[in-house]
Amino acid sequence: MPLGERAGDKSDSRYCGVETEFNDDIPQLLSLNINGGFDFVVATLMDPAYRPSLKSDEGNKSCGVLPFAGSDLVLSPSQWSSHVVGRISLWIDLDSEDELLRRDSETCLKQEIAWAAHLSLQACLLPSPKGTSCGNYARVVNQILQSVNNMQLWLRIPLQKSDEDTVNETGDLGREQMDSWELWNSFRNLCEHHSQLSIALDILPSLPSANSIGRWFGEPVRAAIIHTNSFLTNAKGYPCLSKRHQKLMSGFFNHSIQIVISGNQDINNSLRSTEAGPNNNNNRIESVQRHPLRPYLDYVGYLYQRMDVLSEQERFELGYRDFLQSPLQPLMDNLEAQTYETFEKDTMKYIQYQRAICKALQDRVPDEASSTVTTILMVVGAGRGPLVRASLQAAEETGRKLKVYAVEKNPNAVVTLHSLVKLEGWEKIVTIVSSDMRCWEAPEKADILVSELLGSFGDNELSPECLDGAQRFLKEDGISIPSSYTSYIQPVTASKLYADIKSHKDLVHFETIYVVKIHRVARLAPSQPVFTFVHPEYSINNSNQRYKKLQFELPNDTGSALVHGFAGYFDATLYKDVHLGMEPLTATPNMFSWFPAFIPLRTPVCIRPGLPLEFHIWRCCGPTKVWYEWCVASPTASPVHNTNGRSYWVGL
């Protein structure tokens, strides 16, 4: 029974599991917990007393297989797959100094994973590494990952980091307590960042800082195991969580991370019914009373259901979350009708444009001349006409007279433009020009030049080159909308995006700048400005080539983190105080025309507080193309990506 329903939300976080003790009667174990309200069980697959070295294989020599588990027939294949996560034996220690224990551990781990794969389980929970050195454990897990198909391995990692961490003069972290992220990072590096290796976070009663926790939302966390001893008790004797734990749970829900409840019921709550939570069905009271952890499940369900309903914009973006898309090639390719339609639905963008055009018209023509002076406005890159409509609405709003040239190179969009002008009766006001703006010879100069050529990274769809070619028909005192725009970047942990790129097993995909609705990422430092372009630009020495060196620093309480790449944004000044953008701190609300850019690194870079991350990026221009090159210079140097635009470029 899912925790609840939110419109448009079909994420895994709706399902809550329970960690169980070993029980050789799996059907009874599953029935008790499913009837008690849980969606799946985390169940031990093998008797904890089993050791390969203690099990005599007398009588089994004919088959060569030790009888280490029960039958797969006790549940149906769909029950195994849908309702059971295998828990690997907790005694396993592959880095033990005891050779016999180490050998037994390796044999048993491989047996259990093979059995779980045979049962078609979707995931297995691996025990936490026993110490900071986990080389042999990771080696064996990596061997298994090379042969297992589809099944996820969840490595259990405690969510802990000492608040006493300090950075000494050599840049090393001195700690009284291990930062569990370091343990995870070591393990996944040894396993070559395998896409089927994930995390099950153990949530403890004491939580580290918010910055430290934030790192994990960019990592492949599939489950959060919260023990009953992390709960508090309210005045009525029911379980509840601290404000910080509640906020953490909301973060898990928003990132499709499943909750697993573990531990024992407080004796004072053992006979409570469903009053504590929202799932108040009388016909379930009997089963609730039987299941000792139901009050905890009810409380988790209550937290889930009190979350805000997804907005229309969020529902629209759900299918795009963490999905890598190649950026548009606006000059080389003609956009399709579906792309135009998506952009045109973004009403906030055109509201901002209309505001900017209103201000420009009022500045251009005083009130006393509004009935006699006609403003020449050119929309360059008119598409199917949304900016033409916004311009005419601005003229009507301000009482100004307008003559509009709609310039568009896509012949298919021009067909729609002609139909729109005829339908709206704009023939005397709007002139349609079927031409590339860089080639067109305007019959007269424009007072206002309007365009929507911005890309996710500001200049990455060649707005500078297009507007440089179009500004020759703008009057010397004319107005360009937008008047300027700046790109921004920030370092991010983005394990899912990295894994998706890595799966292509080539250089080209690591040297491409993508457009993506980033969701499961950790933003590690505030974004910083990169390249700025101003229009019109009449400087004689103007060049659209750019170079920028940036330094980012982690907050001191974050701990170490892995940088998989950089998120890219832009902020544009349309006119005066009217701006449009997606930089996180200044983003225009309720606007979805642009998703962030993602600039990947071929090899992720580990950074620590006190050791700045130095990033270099170049915007390069050639006769037929524009491209970007980038690299990290410290704390470790990366290769320069996309040299000479060998993998990714935008055609002129």
Mark the binding-site residues for S-adenosyl-L-methionine, compressed into ranges.
340, 349-350, 408, 436-437
- Cβ-contact 543, 621 below 8 angstroms: yes
> Can you tell me the distance from the alpha carbon of 65 to that of 604, in angstroms, rounded to the nearest whole number?
42
In terms of DSSP H, where are the helices of 84-134?
99-118
Beta strands in 520-612 (DSSP E): 522-523, 528-534, 546-552, 561-575, 578-581, 597-607
**Where are the alpha helices (H) located in 372-471, listed in sequence order?**
386-398, 411-424, 463-470
Alpha-carbon distances of 32 from 28, 154, 277, 280, rounded to whole Å = 6, 24, 20, 19
SS3 call for 437: coil
Q: Which residues are annotated as a binding site?
A: 340, 349-350, 408, 436-437
Q: Which of the residues 461, 465, 511, 629 is marked catalytic?
A: 461
Identity at 436, one-letter amino acid code: D
Q: Which of 383, 386, 497, 380 is nearest to 438 (CA)?
A: 380
Q: Give kind and range of the element (H or E) at residue 434.
A: strand 430-434
Cα 371 to chain centroid, rounded: 52
For residue 108, give the amino acid letter.
C
What is residue 195's DSSP assignment? T
Count how many residues are written for the chain: 652
Identity of residue 46: M
In the residue annotation, 219 being an active-site residue is answered as no
Torsion sign across C-alpha atoms 89, 90, 95, 97:
negative
Q: Which two tokens stand for residue 140?
A: 């064996």
Q: How far is CA 39 from CA 21, 87, 266, 300, in A?
A: 17, 16, 22, 13
* Amino acid at residue number 124: C
* Burial class (CB within 10 angstroms; exposed 0-12, middle 13-18, buried 19+) of 232: exposed
Residue 9 phi/psi, 5° resolution?
-95, 110
Do strands 84-87 and 528-534 pair parallel, antiparallel, or not at all (unpaired)? unpaired
Work out the angle at residue 378's Cα, subtended by the Cα atoms of residues 376 and 379, and round it to the nearest 5 degrees.
150
Rounded Cα distance between 464 and 580, Å, is 17
Beta-bridge partners for 124: 86, 153
Distance CA 531, CA 548 (A): 7
Residue 426's identity, in one-letter code, is W
CA–CA gap between residue 272 and residue 290 (Å, rounded): 10
User: Is 560:181 a contact under the CB 8 Å cutoff?
Assistant: yes
Catalytic residue flag (residue 452): yes
Q: Phi/psi at 261 (nearest 5 deg)?
A: -95, 135
Torsions phi, psi for 601 (to 5 deg): -110, 140
State the catalytic residue, choosing from 106, 452, 511, 629: 452
- Helix axis angle for 135-147 and 99-118, nearest 10°, is 20
Question: For the chain, how long is the longest CA-to-CA vector?
Answer: 106
Closest CA to 89 of 119, 129, 29, 48: 48
Distance CA 520, CA 198 (A): 13
Contact 460, 597 (CB under 8 A): yes
Active site positions, annotated: 452, 461
